[in-house]
Amino acid sequence: GIQVEQSPPDLILQEGANSTLRCNFSDSVNNLQWFHQNPWGQLINLFYIPSGTKQNGRLSATTVATERYSLLYISSSQTTDSGVYFCAVGYNNNDMRFGAGTRLTVKP
Amino acid sequence: KAGVTQTPRYLIKTRGQQVTLSCSPISGHRSVSWYQQTPGQGLQFLFEYFSETQRNKGNFPGRFSGRQFSNSRSEMNVSTLELGDSALYLCASSPGLAGETQYFGPGTRLLVL
C-alpha cells in the first residue's frame, strides 16, 4: 500500500520562529489533508490540498503532486501551535492513509 | 452552532464484548467519518457515511461496522472486542462535498481489558 512519511518526527522551536513540515507519499493520491492535534487530543483540519498552495493566517501549505510531497509552513510560531501535525492522503479506493506525524513543541 | 459530540467519552469493556459509539454531527452536515487512533498504529481511517450510505471504507475487519441515521447521527459498532481495539475513536463531520473542512469531536476513549 501507499507509504506516507513525515519529517521531522520532532521539532522544538522558540516562539516567533518559522518552520517547515514535510509529507512524502509513495504513489499518486486523490487528495491530501493536513491536521493538527493539540496536546489535549482535539484534532483540527487545517488544509485540504491535493495540489497547489493555500494560506490561512500564519499557516500555509503547498502540495506538489507530481513530485509526491507536501509542505506545511508555520510562521511566527506561538505556544498554541504545539501539538502533532498529521498529513493524510486519499488514494485508489478512497482509503485514507495517515503519516506518523510531526510533534511540534513551541517554547515561550 | 453546537460542535460534534461523541458519547460516551470514556468506556471500559472486556474482551469478547461488543460496543456501540455514537456521534452527532454539526447541524446541517451530512457526512460523518470515523477514525481510530492508537499509540502503535497511529491514526487510521475507519469509514465515512454520507446520507445514510457508507461512501468510503478503510482496511478494518468486519467486526467494525457503522451506520448513519436520517438525521445524520452515526454509530459505530465493534463486536467481539480484542485488546488491540483499545484506542481513541474520533468522528468528524462535514457538509459532505470533497474538499470541505472536517470538524472533529473530542473522541471516545475505549479501554478493552
**Per-residue pLDDT for chain A (108 aa), expressed as one digit of tens each?**
889 999 999 999 999 999 999 999 999 998 899 999 999 889 999 999 999 999 999 999 999 999 999 999 999 999 999 999 999 998 776 678 999 999 999 999
Distance from CA of B111 to the nearest CA of A (A): 16
**Residue % of chain B over a pLDDT of 70:** 97
Give the residue among A20, A29, A22 at the shortest CA–CA distance from A5: A22
Which chain B residue has the Cα nearest residue A40?
B106
pLDDT band at B102 (very low <50, low <70, confident <90, very high): confident
Rounded CA gap, A33 and A46, in Å? 7
Contacts of B5 (CB under 8 A, 6+ apart): B23, B24, B105, B106
Q: Nearest by CB to B99, from A48, A93, A100: name it.
A: A48
Q: Do A96 and B45 touch (CB under 8 A)?
A: yes
* pLDDT greater at residue B95 or residue B24: B24
Q: Give tens-digit pLDDT for B47-71.
A: 999 999 998 888 899 999 999 999 9
Q: Minimal Cα distance from B99: which residue of A?
A: A48
The beta-carbon neighbor of B104 closest among A44, A93, A94 is A44
Nearest to A8 by CA among A25, A27, A23, A18: A23
Distance from CA of B98 to the nearest CA of A (A): 9
Q: Which residue of A has its CA nearest to B108?
A: A41
**Alpha-carbon span B89 to B84, nearest angstrom:** 13
In this predicted structure, what is the pLDDT of residue A93?
A: 60
Query: Is some CB atom of chain B closer than 8 A to the CB atom of A96?
Result: yes
Q: Which range has the worst mean pLDDT, A42-46, B15-19, B75-79, B107-111?
A: A42-46
Tell me the C-alpha distance between B97 and A33, whole Å.
Answer: 14
Q: Give the pLDDT mean for B30-40.
A: 94
